[in-house]
């Protein structure tokens, strides 16, 4: 697969972006940091990779949230389990992502599931930790009041504790999302790295800067956009916190 | 143009479907063998696991894999060198800034009319850590060699140092701001100047936090350094990546062995620096200081 690269001589957009980062100083003609020609010629490829990136990130965070929040609740309810769950999460977090890819890749083969599993693992840790922090931070008076009003354990969790822990949960989701977006790029190892394919593809295609930077910038922009989206969602979901702040 | 059939969108459907649709013709990156039997179901996974682990251990048990040029020992040396350089640069950059920001924030009450400086420090720390979280390591590793830094070790070290900065900065800042206000009051009352206060009171009391940040940053950099192999930058990643290039049928043992090495190294660094952190933390502070933040339970 060889994307069409607009790096031959008279690049139209190249003059515009060529000065970025002192590219001219390197004296490499026709290797601009940004090129509209490249983007236009490879719009399909770029979109495909972006879509892959978003899909992988979305799946990873959703699965991690679906597993992580109940685990955090378990750790919250069963106090003796809190230590082991957090310690386990901490040890897992210490293990480098490339090592996890190295364990999962040979097991699952060259396909996108091999990217998804490590992503879910790391997202899981952040979601568990922050959800638990949020749950523990629920004031004891509130819990007492809920119990006094006759709430059962489950009702108290769903109606009182989880809503009050929402800021923590949202923080966990945001951290997990942002770092998942960045980590997805390592999926190039098995050919499903989303925008990472562009970054490393450009590097391998004779250090084609436009492709590298397009991938990198889209990656950071995606992380920022998803972060803001979650921030807004959290803001909408916690009207009481807004009122208190105002 | 071999990967027309590897549609990433449909490829994300269930494993069985993917296998049936694109199994025999799917391509692998790096020109590995095209046909790759992918296990389906728990039994298949278990089979492959049982087959892979002894092979990885055999690979690790071969002395030549350790002593060869570009073997484990060479790569380990590179890995440690890259990591040490990155953490050193990170410390040189982040600690002075973090300490100074913390000092400014903590001494704001002593200055008239400048009560907002505390927010500046905190915001700087938060923004730096958020932004670096969003930057893929792969991007800094590929972009920096193409800047005037040029190819080679320095570019890799700088690329890694970027990710050492946030924990170092945050802990330096927190370490100073968490210094007991009474100690600071006493020092100011004794007539210490701002610089003296920072050097003689705040810095020593912030050491446990600095150590915690150093540990976090080091572990993170050691983990990240394995990615340098993507740009031929050295380190233990060079054990893992060629294994993927060979194709997982022949190179799977090497991939898993590399994974074990990288994981063990990270855990070892974590453990050793954990002991070091404990050693530099005065006994009365051990239970309460940096550890309390890491563990949200009361």
The pTM of this model reads: 0.79
DSSP one-letter code for A19: T
Of A59, A102, A181, Cβ closest to residue B256: A102
Best probe of the B interface among A1, A90, A111, A219, by most B CBs < 10 A, is: A111
Inform me whether the pLDDT recorded for B293 exceeds 50: no
Domains of chain A: 31-238 (1.10.3720.10)
Distance, CA of A199 to CA of A222 (rounded, Å): 15
User: pLDDT band at residue B17, thresholds of 50, 70 and 90?
Assistant: very low
Of A103, A207, A212, Cβ closest to residue B256: A103
| Alpha carbon distances (Å) from B8 to A112, A181, A207, B161 | 7, 16, 25, 33
List, for residues A40-74, the tens digit of each pLDDT value.
Answer: 889 999 999 999 999 999 999 999 999 999 999 99
Q: Nearest residue of A to residue B224 by CA position?
A: A96
User: pLDDT band at residue B50, thresholds of 50, 70 and 90?
Assistant: confident
The pLDDT score that the predictor gives to residue B116 is 57
B283, B208 in Cβ contact below 8 A? no
Distance, CA of B163 to CA of B173 (rounded, Å): 17
The pLDDT score that the predictor gives to residue B290 is 44
Inform me whether the pLDDT recorded for A16 exceeds 70: no
The pLDDT score that the predictor gives to residue A246 is 54
Q: What percentage of chain B reaches a pLDDT higher than 70?
A: 80
Q: Which of residues 223-262 of B touch A (CB under 8 A)?
A: 223-224, 226-227, 230-231, 237, 240-241, 243-244, 248, 252, 255-256, 258-260, 262
A88, A132 in Cβ contact below 8 A? no
Nearest CA to A181 out of B237, B137, B229, B217 is that of B137
What residues of A are in contact with residue B43 (Cβ under 8 Å)? none
What residues of A are in contact with residue B25 (Cβ under 8 Å)? none
Q: Nearest residue of A to residue B246 by CA position?
A: A106
All residues at 6 or more sequence positions from A105 whose CB lies less than 8 Å from its CB, including other chains = A114, A189, A190, B244, B248, B255
B152, A30 in Cβ contact below 8 A? no
List, for residues A193-231, the tens digit of each pLDDT value.
Answer: 899 999 999 888 888 888 999 999 999 999 999 999 999
The pLDDT score that the predictor gives to residue B37 is 55
What is the predicted ipTM? 0.79
DSSP SS3 for B277: helix
Burial of A126 from C-beta contacts in 10 A (0-12 / 13-18 / 19+): buried
The pLDDT score that the predictor gives to residue B6 is 32
List, for residues A148-170, the tens digit of each pLDDT value.
Answer: 999 998 999 999 999 999 999 99
Distance, CA of B27 to CA of A197 (rounded, Å): 15
């Amino acid at each position: 697969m060889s994307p069409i690269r607009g790096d031959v001589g008279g690049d139209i957009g190249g003059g515009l972006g060529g000065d970025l980062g002192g590219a001219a100083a390197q004296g490499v003609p026709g290797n601009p940091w940004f090129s509209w020609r490249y983007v236009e010629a490879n719009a399909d490829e770029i979109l495909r990779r972006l879509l892959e990136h978003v899909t992988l990130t979305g799946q990873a965070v959703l699965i991690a949230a679906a597993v992580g929040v109940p685990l955090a609740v378990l750790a919250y309810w069963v106090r003796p389990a809190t230590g082991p769950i957090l310690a386990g999460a901490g040890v897992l977090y210490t293990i480098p992502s490339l090592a996890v890819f190295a364990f999962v890749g040979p097991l699952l083969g060259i396909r996108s599931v091999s990217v998804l599993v490590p992503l879910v693992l790391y997202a899981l840790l952040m979601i568990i930790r922050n959800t638990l922090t949020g749950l523990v931070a629920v004031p004891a008076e509130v819990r007492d009041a809920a119990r006094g009003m006759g709430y059962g354990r489950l009702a108290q969790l769903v109606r009182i504790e989880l809503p009050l822990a929402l800021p923590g949960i949202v923080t966990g989701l945001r951290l997990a999302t942002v770092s998942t977006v960045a980590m997805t790029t390592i999926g190039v190892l098995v050919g499903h790295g989303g925008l990472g394919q562009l970054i490393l593809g450009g590097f391998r295609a004779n250090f084609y800067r436009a492709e590298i930077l397009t991938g990198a910038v889209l990656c950071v922009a995606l992380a920022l956009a998803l972060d803001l989206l979650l921030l807004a969602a959290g803001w909408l979901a916690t009207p009481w916190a807004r009122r208190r702040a105002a | 143009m071999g990967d027309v059939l590897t549609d990433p969108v449909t490829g994300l459907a269930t494993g069985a479907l993917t296998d049936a649709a694109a199994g025999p013709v799917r391509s692998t990156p790096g020109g590995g063998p095209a046909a790759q039997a992918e296990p389906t179901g728990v039994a298949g996974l278990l089979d492959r696991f049982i087959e892979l682990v002894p092979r990885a251990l055999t690979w690790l048990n071969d002395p030549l894999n350790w002593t060869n040029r570009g073997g484990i020992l060479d790569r380990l040396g590179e890995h440690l060198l890259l990591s040490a350089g990155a953490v050193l640069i990170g410390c040189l950059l982040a600690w002075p800034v973090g300490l100074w920001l913390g000092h400014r924030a903590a001494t704001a009450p002593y200055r008239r009319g400048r009560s907002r400086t505390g927010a500046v420090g905190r915001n700087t720390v938060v923004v730096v850590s958020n932004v670096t979280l969003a930057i893929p390591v792969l991007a800094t590793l590929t972009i920096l060699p193409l800047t005037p830094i040029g190819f080679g070790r320095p570019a890799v070290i700088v690329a890694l140092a970027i990710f050492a900065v946030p924990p170092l900065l945050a802990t330096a800042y927190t370490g100073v701001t968490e210094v007991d206000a009474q100690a600071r009051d006493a020092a100011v009352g004794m007539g210490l100047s701002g610089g003296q206060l920072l050097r003689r009171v705040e810095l020593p009391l912030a050491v446990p936090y600095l150590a915690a940040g150093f540990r976090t940053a080091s572990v993170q950099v050691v983990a990240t350094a394995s990615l340098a192999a993507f740009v031929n930058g050295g380190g233990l990643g060079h054990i893992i990546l060629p294994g993927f290039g060979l194709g997982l049928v022949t190179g799977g043992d090497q991939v898993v062995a590399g994974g074990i090495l990288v994981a063990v190294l990270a855990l070892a660094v974590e453990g050793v620096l954990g002991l070091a952190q404990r050693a530099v933390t005065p006994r009365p502070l051990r239970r309460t200081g940096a550890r309390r933040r890491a563990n949200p339970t009361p």
